[in-house]
């Protein structure tokens, strides 16, 4: 069983649509990170959230850390083909980060 | 400056053979991590090096897996007597200090296929 669950597993949408992907756990994390990974490359960090209830915005991306620090969401407004990729969340426990299985997003032009 | 580099980019081997995967971290980064990424799975933590401290090997799946970091820089992940279930992308990352809230910079990975 995964310590971190992500949903949906796959998502295919048209350019211009909005979407939200979720990262859930029964564990409490001291911080949580979101990464985007493109084929043949390593993950690239998008954001780190630390405080329960924290909301961070990065252009069209909005990240929220749950009040109990067990879950997080990533909302993308007006998705573009360049947003296509694998979105991974990673929760910090002690000195290590535990990664979820990812949401594979495809934005069609 | 250059990012994290890994070699080879692809490795195909036969079951039972040993393989070595190399990681060159970003210059000056004291922390180095190895992860394994299988299809449909998240990144699985393998091992973590921090400066001259003893490495955190808690994620290594079996004693066939080992890693070294020479001179606090280049790291080699060795898999002995490879099995088909070892097939995966092996990712290396480095960070300036450690895993607290520091940013991990990932290399492109080595795709290992065990036939």
Return the closest-CA partner of residue A11 out of A75, A71, A90, A97. A75
Average pLDDT, chain B: 91
CATH of the domain at A42: 2.60.40.10
Q: Is A82 on the interface with B (CB under 8 A)?
A: no
A78-94 residue pLDDT tens: 999 999 999 999 998 87
Backbone angles phi, psi at B43, to 5 degrees: -75, 130
Residue B59 three-state SS: coil
Query: Which residues pair with residue A23 across a beta bridge?
Result: A6, A72
State the pLDDT at residue A57: 96
Side-chain-side CA neighbours of residue B19 (13 Å): 26
A45-73 residue pLDDT tens: 999 999 999 999 999 999 999 999 999 99
Q: Is B44 on the interface with A (CB under 8 A)?
A: yes
Q: What does the DSSP 8-state code read for residue B73?
A: S
Contacts of B43 in chain A (CB under 8 A): 43, 88, 90, 99
CA distance B43 to chain A (A): 5
Query: Which residues, 6 or more positions from A45, have their beta carbon under 8 angstroms from its beta carbon?
Result: A33, A34, A35, B103, B104
Our count of domains for chain A comes to 1
Check: CB of residue B106 under 8 Å from CB of residue B7: no
Two tokens, residue A49: 């959230």
Distance, CA of A4 to CA of B6 (rounded, Å): 27
Check: CB of residue A42 under 8 Å from CB of residue B106: yes
Query: Which residues, 6 or more positions from A39, have their beta carbon under 8 angstroms from its beta carbon?
Result: none
Query: Which residues pair with residue A19 across a beta bridge?
Result: A76
CA distance B37 to chain A (A): 9
Two tokens, residue B51: 């400066």
**pLDDT range class, residue A23, cuts 50, 70, 90:** very high
Report the number of secondary-structure helices (H) and strands (E) in chain A. 0, 11
Q: Is A41 on the interface with B (CB under 8 A)?
A: yes
Q: Is B39 on the interface with A (CB under 8 A)?
A: no
Structural domain of A82: 5-108
CATH of the domain at B100: 2.60.40.10
Contacts of B103 in chain A (CB under 8 A): 45, 48
Structural domain of B55: 5-114
Question: B3-19 burial by CB neighbour count: b if 16+ within 10 A, else e?
Answer: ebebeeeebebeeeeeb
* 60-89 of B, contacting A, C-beta below 8 A: none
B69-80 residue pLDDT tens: 988 789 999 999
**pLDDT range class, residue A76, cuts 50, 70, 90:** very high
State the pLDDT at residue B70: 83
State the pLDDT at residue A108: 96
Our count of domains for chain B comes to 1
Q: Is A7 on the interface with B (CB under 8 A)?
A: no
Contacts of B98 in chain A (CB under 8 A): 95
Of all residues in chain B, the percent with pLDDT exceeding 90 is: 68
> How many beta-carbon pairs below 8 A join chains A and B?
59
């Amino acid at each position: 069983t995964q310590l971190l669950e992500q949903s949906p597993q796959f998502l295919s949408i048209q350019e211009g649509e909005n979407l939200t992907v979720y990262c859930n756990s029964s564990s409490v994390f001291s911080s949580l990170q979101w990464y985007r990974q493109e084929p043949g490359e390593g993950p690239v960090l998008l954001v780190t959230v630390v405080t329960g209830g924290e909301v961070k915005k990065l252009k069209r991306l909005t990240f929220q850390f749950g009040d109990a620090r067990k879950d997080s969401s990533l909302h993308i407004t007006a998705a573009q083909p360049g947003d296509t990729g694998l979105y991974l969340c990673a929760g910090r426990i002690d000195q290590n980060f535990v990664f979820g299985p990812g949401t594979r997003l495809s934005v069609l032009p | 400056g250059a990012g994290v580099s890994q070699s080879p980019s692809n490795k195909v081997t036969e079951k039972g053979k040993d393989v070595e995967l190399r990681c060159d971290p970003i210059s000056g980064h004291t922390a180095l991590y190895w992860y394994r990424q299988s299809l449909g799975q998240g990144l699985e933590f393998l091992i973590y090096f921090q400066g001259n401290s003893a490495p955190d090997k808690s994620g290594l799946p079996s004693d066939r897996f080992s890693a070294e970091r020479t001179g606090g820089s280049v790291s080699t992940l060795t898999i002995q007597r490879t099995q088909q279930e070892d097939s995966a992308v092996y990712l290396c990352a480095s960070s300036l200090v450690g895993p607290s809230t520091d940013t991990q910079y990932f290399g492109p990975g080595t795709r290992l296929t065990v036939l």
